[in-house]
Amino acid sequence: MGTAKHDTPIAVAVITAAATLVAAYWQFVWKPKNDSIEQNLEYVGRIVDESGKDAVASAKVSLELPNARPIAYTDSEGVFKFTMPMTPKSVINAKVRVEASGYRQYDRLIVLTTTHTTLQEIHLQPTAPATRSLPLRSHPRNPEPTLSQDVQLALANAQKFANTHYEDFRQACREYTVAYERLTKYQRDRLDTDELNSARTACDAGDFRLATALFTEGFRPLMAGH
């Protein structure tokens, strides 16, 4: 019985020593050796449109690495894959670039490790639609409006009464007023509004000579072509 009691501490010490040796071997021999072993890991990502509903097929995806630039293309589901040689401790900073027809170029920095091989889904923004310049159309110039016969008659009478032979300025003012009232809006817009307003003021004040002179100047743009 005494011998068994003495053997127990010895067995515990042996087991402890063995465990220590195993741990030391794993930490200083096996682990460093295996940490340097490369293995090919597959990294998978997906490209979709801005809404996230539609996959973007045939997009060019490139990784900018320190010593390489692998390129992949998305399939019909928008999925792309890269196979990279990695060691258990590998941590690689890379820049991913996506180019697709009809979408803006996409650039982003990513970190590649052995624990995360599924890349974050990438959403592309559509390019602005090209604005098409339309040919300028030449618009035909509006024909000069023809004065109606009654307007022409009123203007002729006004000029007649303003003539020194008749010198009936009161009647000349009346004829000018009739002519103005029978003009179209387009024709009125061509007249000198200030002259006509001053002519009406002079007419109301009884100064028919002045009013006739102002009416004549105000109507000159229309009378020049007739």
Task: Give 95-131 pLDDT, tens digit per residue.
Answer: 899 999 999 999 988 888 888 788 889 999 999 775 5
Whether residue 12 lies inside any domain: the answer is no
pLDDT category at 187 given cuts 50, 70, 90 is: confident
Whether residue 1 lies inside any domain: the answer is no
Partners of residue 126 on adjacent β-strands: 103
Q: Reply yes or no on whether the pLDDT at 55 is more than 90.
A: yes
User: What does the longest C-alpha to C-alpha distance in the chain come to?
Assistant: 164
Q: Are residues 160 and 120 in the same domain?
A: no
The domain boundary, picked from 109, 124, 139, lies at 124
Whether residue 191 lies inside any domain: the answer is yes
Q: Are residues 55 and 105 in the same domain?
A: yes
Whether residue 180 lies inside any domain: the answer is yes
Name the residue with higher pLDDT: 183 or 44.
Answer: 44
Whether residue 68 lies inside any domain: the answer is yes
Q: Reply yes or no on whether the pLDDT at 25 is more than 70.
A: no
Q: Are residues 120 and 175 in the same domain?
A: no
User: Which three-class secondary structure string do you get for the chain?
Assistant: CHHHHHHHHHHHHHHHHHHHHHHHHHHHHHHHHHHCCCEEEEEEEEEEECCCCCECCCCEEEEECCCCCCEEECCCCCEEEEEEEECCCCEEEEEEEEECCCECCEEEEEEEECCCCECCCEEECECCCCCCCCCCCCCCCCCCCCCCHHHHHHHHHHHHHHCCCCCCHHHHHHHHHHHHHCCCHHHHHCCCHHHHHHHHHHHHCCCHHHHHHHHHHHHHHHHCCC
Q: Reply yes or no on whether the pLDDT at 212 is more than 90.
A: no
Range in 65-79, 81-95, 122-136, 191-205 the model is least confident about: 122-136
Q: Are residues 114 and 170 in the same domain?
A: no
Q: Are residues 114 and 56 in the same domain?
A: yes
* Percent of the chain whose pLDDT exceeds 70: 73
Q: Are residues 111 and 182 in the same domain?
A: no
Q: Reply yes or no on whether the pLDDT at 54 is more than 80.
A: yes
Q: Are residues 104 and 169 in the same domain?
A: no
The CA-based angle 154-158-159, given to 5 degrees, is: 120
Angstrom distance (rounded) from CA 213 to CA 163: 11
Q: Are residues 118 and 174 in the same domain?
A: no
Q: Reply yes or no on whether the pLDDT at 198 is more than 80.
A: yes
Mean pLDDT of 134-147: 56
Split into its structural domains, the chain has a count of 2
Average pLDDT, the chain: 77
Q: Are residues 120 and 46 in the same domain?
A: yes
Q: Which of 174, 65, 49, 159 lies closest to 104 in space, CA to CA?
A: 49
Whether residue 103 lies inside any domain: the answer is yes
* Percent of the chain whose pLDDT exceeds 90: 19
Q: Exposure of 81 by Cβ count < 10 A (0-12 exposed, 13-18 middle, 19+ buried)?
A: middle
pLDDT category at 21 given cuts 50, 70, 90 is: low
Question: How many other C-beta atoms are found inside a 10 Å radius of the C-beta of residue 45?
Answer: 21
pLDDT at 49: 93
Whether residue 112 lies inside any domain: the answer is yes
Q: Are residues 153 and 98 in the same domain?
A: no
Q: Reply yes or no on whether the pLDDT at 82 is more than 80.
A: yes
CATH number of domain containing 108: 2.60.40.10
pTM beyond 0.75: the answer is no
Q: Are residues 50 and 116 in the same domain?
A: yes
pLDDT at 61: 93
Name the residue with higher pLDDT: 7 or 201.
Answer: 201
pLDDT at 132: 61
Mean pLDDT of 25-38: 58
Name the residue with higher pLDDT: 221 or 43.
Answer: 43
Q: Name residue, tokens 């179209």.
A: 184
The domain boundary, picked from 62, 89, 124, lies at 124
Range in 6-20, 84-98, 168-182, 183-197 the model is least confident about: 6-20
Whether residue 9 lies inside any domain: the answer is no
Q: Is the distance from CB of 62 to CB of 71 less than 8 angstroms?
A: yes
Residue ranges making up the domain that contains 214 = 149-223
Q: Are residues 116 and 186 in the same domain?
A: no
